[in-house]
C-alpha cells in the first residue's frame, strides 16, 4: 500500500504548531527542533518558510495580535474605542499568556502589530491628542493590558486556608480566590480600565483647554 501523504508544510501550519507548543510549554522550551518533530519534518524544512527561530516567533506573535479587534476606532469616540480595544486585546493575550513576554518587546516589523498601533495612534491624534501625548496614551494602555494578561491574580493564592489563618489574618478568604478566577480577574481589569480611562480623559480635557484643536496650524 502507498504510504499516507504528509500534509503540505505551510507557514500557517508552522505557526499553528509553534503556538501550540508555546501554549503548552512556554517560550523557554520552544525550539525549531521540537517544532520540526511536532510537525513530523526535518528541521531544515522549516527554513524554506522562515529564515530563523525569531522569524517564527514573530509570526506566532503576530497571529495572536491579528485576533484583536480594532474596528471600534472607526465607529466610536476615542474613549469608548480604547475601552473596547482593551477588552479585545486582553482576550487575545489571555488566550496565549506564554506569548505575552515576546509581544511586550514591541511590534518590530510585524504587520498586524503595526496595523494595531497605527489604528490606536491615528484615532488618538484625530481626537485632538498631541502626537507625543497620543504615544504616551497608547503605551500606557498597552502596559496595562499586557500586564493584566501575564498571569491570574486569583490563581496566585494557594488553596490552603490554614496557611492564611495561621499567619495572615487579613487574607482569611484568599484560599477561595481561585474558585472565582473569572470574576476576580475580570473585575480587577474593569476597575483598573475605568480608572485609567478616567485619568486619561481628564488629561485630554486639560490638553484641549491649553491647546484647542487647530491651534497648531
pLDDT digits (tens, 9 = 90+) for 49-87: 999 999 999 999 999 999 999 999 999 999 999 999 999
- Determine the pLDDT at residue 186: 96
pLDDT band at 213 (very low <50, low <70, confident <90, very high): low
Q: With 90 as the cut, is the pLDDT of residue 11 above it?
A: yes
* Buried residues in 30-55 as b, exposed as e (16+ CB within 10 A): bebeebbeebebeeeebeebbeebee
The residue assigned the cell 495572615 is: 168
- DSSP tag of 212: -
pLDDT band at 214 (very low <50, low <70, confident <90, very high): low
Secondary structure (3-state) at 171: helix
- Determine the pLDDT at residue 217: 44
Cell of 115: 496595523
pLDDT digits (tens, 9 = 90+) for 148-201: 999 899 899 989 898 998 889 899 899 999 899 999 999 999 999 999 999 999
Q: The whole model's pTM is what?
A: 0.89
- Determine the pLDDT at residue 48: 93
Question: CB-hemisphere CA count at 13 Å for 128?
Answer: 18
Residues sharing a CB contact under 8 Å with residue 33, sequence separation 6 or more, in sequence order? 43
Amino acid at each position: 500500500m502507498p504510504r499516507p501523504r504528509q500534509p503540505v508544510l505551510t507557514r500557517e501550519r508552522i505557526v499553528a504548531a509553534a503556538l501550540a507548543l508555546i501554549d503548552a510549554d512556554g517560550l523557554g522550551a520552544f525550539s525549531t527542533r521540537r517544532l520540526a518533530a511536532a510537525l513530523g519534518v526535518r528541521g531544515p524544512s522549516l527554513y524554506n518558510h522562515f529564515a530563523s527561530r525569531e522569524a517564527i516567533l514573530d509570526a506566532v506573535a503576530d497571529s495572536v495580535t491579528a485576533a484583536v479587534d480594532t474596528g471600534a476606532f472607526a465607529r466610536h469616540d476615542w474613549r469608548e474605542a480604547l475601552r473596547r480595544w482593551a477588552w479585545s486585546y486582553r482576550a487575545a493575550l489571555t488566550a496565549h499568556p506564554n506569548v505575552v513576554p515576546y509581544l511586550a518587546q514591541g511590534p518590530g516589523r510585524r504587520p498586524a502589530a503595526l496595523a494595531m498601533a497605527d489604528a490606536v495612534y491615528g484615532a488618538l491624534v484625530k481626537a485632538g491628542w498631541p502626537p507625543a501625548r497620543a504615544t504616551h496614551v497608547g503605551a500606557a494602555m498597552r502596559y496595562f493590558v499586557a500586564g493584566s494578561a501575564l498571569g491570574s491574580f486569583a490563581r496566585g493564592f494557594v488553596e490552603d486556608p490554614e496557611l492564611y489563618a495561621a499567619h495572615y489574618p487579613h487574607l482569611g478568604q484568599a484560599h477561595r480566590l481561585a474558585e472565582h478566577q473569572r470574576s476576580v480577574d475580570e473585575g480587577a481589569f474593569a476597575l483598573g480600565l475605568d480608572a485609567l480611562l478616567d485619568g486619561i480623559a481628564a488629561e485630554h480635557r486639560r490638553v484641549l483647554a491649553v491647546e484647542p484643536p487647530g491651534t497648531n496650524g
